[in-house]
Amino acid sequence: MISIKELKHYYTDADGKEVKALDGIDLDIKKGEFVAIIGANGSGKSTLARHLNALLLPTAGTCTVGGLDTMEESNMWDIRQQVGMVFQNPDNQIVAAIVEEDVAFGPENIGVPNEEIRPRVERALAAVGMSDYAKHAPHLLSGGQKQRVAIAGLMALEPQCIVLDEPTAMLDPQGRKEIVATVKSLNQDKGITIVYITHYMTEALAADRVVVMEKGHIRFMGTPKEVFCRVDELEKLGLEAPLAAKVASELRKSGIKLPKDIITDEELAQALCP
């Protein structure tokens, strides 16, 4: 679905210095895959996210979406039809006074026939569990509900891929759970490719693959088990492994024999109290 080769993105900061935000990224994302990208602040993960639907363009290297090169201006429309973005603050993405009108906004703007818009809106709201709020005013919703409306707005455009850039950064724990559950459902039930940028390690547990970034480079990647068992390496990068993985690591250091692939509370409990 997405192929990134030797991608570099440089910019000049306020002091006139060249900053290498991305410095040689190689990454392929398969159709239907759920990829989480993690990294400390300044690692380049949000910059990378913005390349996936051509909000940013490479300084060097290539980013192709469905075989379309983001550097070709004529491809821009088709790329943004395929890949939608969800950002941190849902208030910045909601434009209408009624939920169903907001979800209909995108399809109307790309010229979807009127008779097709209503079914799209209904399907999108159902997909994110917000059908009962179709007539509500967005400003009366919780943060998690607003973010689900923002995702529904993308769903109505019927993208093949959704990129979420720290979508739970402004939400409480309940809102975070709602968004992670929604994203998992869209991936598993609808087959939508998900690229999920987060600094909450527990959210990345839902992914098929986790990519770890530092200073514009990919340091390593793998399944959640392969990545989060590397507790000491993550800490050196300024990241915290899920608590269960961290506790298991400390217990192993103290001489207690435990499996090396413990990353969830349930796995830790089972290993300690079989």
DSSP codes, 175-243: HHHHHHHHHHHHHHHH--EEEEE-S-HHHHTTSSEEEEEETTEEEEEE-HHHHHT-HHHHHHTT----H
Q: How confident is the model at residue 58 (pLDDT cuts 50, 70, 90)?
A: very high
My answer on whether 254 and 210 are in the same domain is: no
Average pLDDT across the chain, whole number:
92
Among 151, 235, 143, which Cα is nearest to 190's? 151
My answer on whether 211 and 261 are in the same domain is: no
Is pLDDT of 213 > 90? yes
Q: Confirm whether 85 is domain-assigned.
A: yes
Q: How many domains does the chain have?
A: 2
CATH code: domain of residue 69: 3.40.50.300
My answer on whether 48 and 115 are in the same domain is: yes
Is pLDDT of 208 > 90? yes
Q: How confident is the model at residue 267 (pLDDT cuts 50, 70, 90)?
A: very high
Bridge partners (DSSP) of residue 220 are 212
Q: Confirm whether 237 is domain-assigned.
A: no
Q: Confirm whether 236 is domain-assigned.
A: no
Q: Confirm whether 174 is domain-assigned.
A: yes
Is pLDDT of 218 > 90? yes
Q: Confirm whether 68 is domain-assigned.
A: yes
My answer on whether 92 and 173 are in the same domain is: yes
Q: How confident is the model at residue 27 (pLDDT cuts 50, 70, 90)?
A: very high
Whole domain around residue 47: which residue ranges?
A: 2-230
My answer on whether 217 and 255 are in the same domain is: no
Is pLDDT of 104 > 90? yes
> What number is the average pLDDT over the span 61-86?
93
Specify the residue for token string 């993690």.
38
Is pLDDT of 112 > 90? no
Q: How confident is the model at residue 25 (pLDDT cuts 50, 70, 90)?
A: very high
What's the pTM value of the predicted model, to 2 decimals? Answer: 0.90
Q: What is the pLDDT of residue 171?
A: 84
Q: What is the pLDDT of residue 176?
A: 87
Q: What is the pLDDT of residue 247?
A: 94
Report which residue type is found at 174: Q
My answer on whether 211 and 112 are in the same domain is: yes
